[in-house]
Amino acid sequence: MDRIILHSDINNFYASVEIRLNPKLEGKCIAVAGDPKKRHGIVLAKSNQAKAYGVKTAEPLWQAKKKCPQLIFIPPNYNKYTEYSKAIFDIYTRYTDLVESFGQDECWLDTTGSVKLFGDGLSVANRIRADIKKETGLSVSIGVSFNKIFAKLGSDIKKPDAVTVISKDNFKDIVWPLPTHAMIYIGKATAKALSKLGINTIGELASADKSSLESLFGKMGTKFYEYAWGRDSDPVARFDAVRLPDSIGNGTTTASDIAAIEDAERVIFALCEVIAYRLRQQKMVAGGISINLRDTNLKTITRQEALLSPIGTATQLAEKAVQILKAHYNFSSMPPLRTITVSAYALSSQSEAYQLSLFAKDSAKDSHLESNIDKLRDKYGAAVIQRALNLETPYTCDAKEIDEGFLPFGKGNLNKQD
């Protein structure tokens, strides 16, 4: 028997919740967005009316406003989004215990074992849609298929409030005409590279030479080929499974341009405080550090370096990131920076890594010190103790806000997947 995999995507999640909270916004062009007064303000979500004007997620607010002059900006209400997300997640678990989150607004479900109780995939999808609409007032689009890749693609094909079934009998007709970037894990850069090879649709990807794809894209090239044929055996995790991140990153667009290495160091140390905090929560250390820089001309540079021994303290992370920055960026001859992102990757267990490190004793002492600092900040607030380096830009957030990614320079992304 084929697996029955569903992928459910809440339609315009943030914007839909805001309309539920304030019905007067119904039918209007709205965008949930960052602070319009700050340079890093972007559109986080938009209503269908705003979408009709070409407003896109992640575009700058000034650009969105130019497309849609009547656009209403609404600050995000993360607590409410979490409440709605949890309520919908609880609905999913009525039908199966195999529910895997893919962000706050998306989930995969494996209902193969629930057929006798709730019917086939289409029946379950329609029941879930009805339950969510009745209990939360929100709508979802659901893809039903025999694997996670096609289920995800199905939820994207028809929106809003719809169900799309992709089976072994019809997937060539539905999936293959679609552009390659419609498939998860194929971003703009990969789609562009495939296009240069004459591969523009998923069907053309399925007809490509697998060994050539592997030589160009590594193991992912083989996976792209297999995904195009619907060959994906990746299981749906249990709803209570703990999934460890592949990387932990944090970035910010600063209120003013960064024109000197000293200013960049302060930003990097602040970013690494948060990364180290989250690493300690996961009991993990990093085997590599990467930095992503965007200058005032909007040119982006990414550099990374694998480490001989894993590291995990803020000092170690920041010193390595600064070392990479100095090796690849010269402030005297290059434009000022407006955005800096630091990421820790190649993560491994803290205890396992320290057993291998020649500097385990020093690393453990530093980690113990920073763990005690965590406790102080949890109790008295993040400003209670700070580095001398950052005295000019003191913390104004508490430990909970640090965990959510807030920095004196703006909001970072703690779980960015690089």
- Quick: pLDDT tens for 322-337: 999 999 999 999 999 9
Please report the pLDDT score of residue 39 as a whole number.
55
Is the pLDDT reported for residue 83 higher than 60? yes
Who contacts 19 (Cβ-Cβ below 8 Å, separation ≥6)?
25, 26, 30, 47
The pTM for the full model equals 0.68
- Residue 405's pLDDT band (cuts 50, 70, 90): very low
CATH number assigned to the domain covering 14-77: 3.40.1170.60
- Other beta carbons within 10 angstroms of residue 15's beta carbon come to 24
Positive or negative, the Cα torsion across 348, 350, 352, 356? positive
Instruction: Give the residue carrying structure tokens 């910010």.
Output: 252
H/E/C letters for each residue in the chain? CCCCEEEEEECCHHHHHHHHHCHHHCCCCEEEECCCCCCCCEEEEECHHHHHCCCCCCCEHHHHHHHCCCCEEECCCHHHHHHHHHHHHHHHCCCCCCEEECCCCEEEEECHHHHHHHCCHHHHHHHHHHHHHHHHCCCEEEEEECCHHHHHHHHHHCCCCCEEECCCCCHHHHCCCCEHHHCCCCCHHHHHHHHHCCCCEHHHHHCCCHHHHHHHHCHHHHHHHHHHCCCCCCCCCCCCCCCCCCEEEEEEEEEEEECCHHHHHHHHHHHHHHHHHHHHHHCEEEEEEEEEEEECCCCEEEEEEEEEEEECCHHHHHHHHHHHHHHHCCCCCCCCEEEEEEEEEEEEEHHHHHHHCCCHHHHHHHHHHHHHHHHHHHHHCHHHCCCHHHCCCCCCCCHHHHHHCEECCEECCCCCCC
Confidence of residue 148 (pLDDT cuts 50, 70, 90): very high
Rounded to an integer, the average pLDDT of 153-166 is 95
Where exactly are the structural domains of the chain?
14-77, 176-228, 247-411
* Exposure b/e, 136-150, CB count within 10 A at least 16 = b: bebbbbbbbbbbbbb
> Would you state the CATH architecture of domain 176-228?
Orthogonal Bundle (1.10)
Asked if pLDDT for residue 211 goes beyond 50, the answer is yes
Residue 392 has pLDDT above 70, yes or no: no
Q: Is residue 294 predicted with pLDDT exceeding 70?
A: yes
Query: Is 90 exceeded by the pLDDT of residue 280?
Result: no
- What per-residue confidence (pLDDT) applies to 367? 54
How high is the pLDDT of residue 396?
31
Mean pLDDT across 170-189: 94
The CATH number, out of the four listed (2.40.50.100, 2.40.70.10, 3.30.1490.100, 3.90.1170.50), of the domain defined by the range 247-411: 3.30.1490.100
Residues classed as catalytic: 106
pLDDT classification of 16: cutoffs 50, 70, 90:
very high
**Does residue 149 contact residue 227 with C-beta atoms inside 8 Å?**
yes
What digits encode the pLDDT tens for the residues 31-65? 998 766 665 577 889 999 999 999 998 788 888 99
The mean pLDDT value for 258-276 works out to: 91
**Rounded average pLDDT over 392-413:** 34
Rounded to whole angstroms, the Cα distance separating 300 from 251 reads 13
| Polymer length of the chain | 418
Minimum mean pLDDT range among 28-42, 206-220, 249-263, 271-285: 28-42
**What pLDDT, on the 0 to 100 scale, is given for residue 187?**
84
State percent of the chain over pLDDT 90: 59
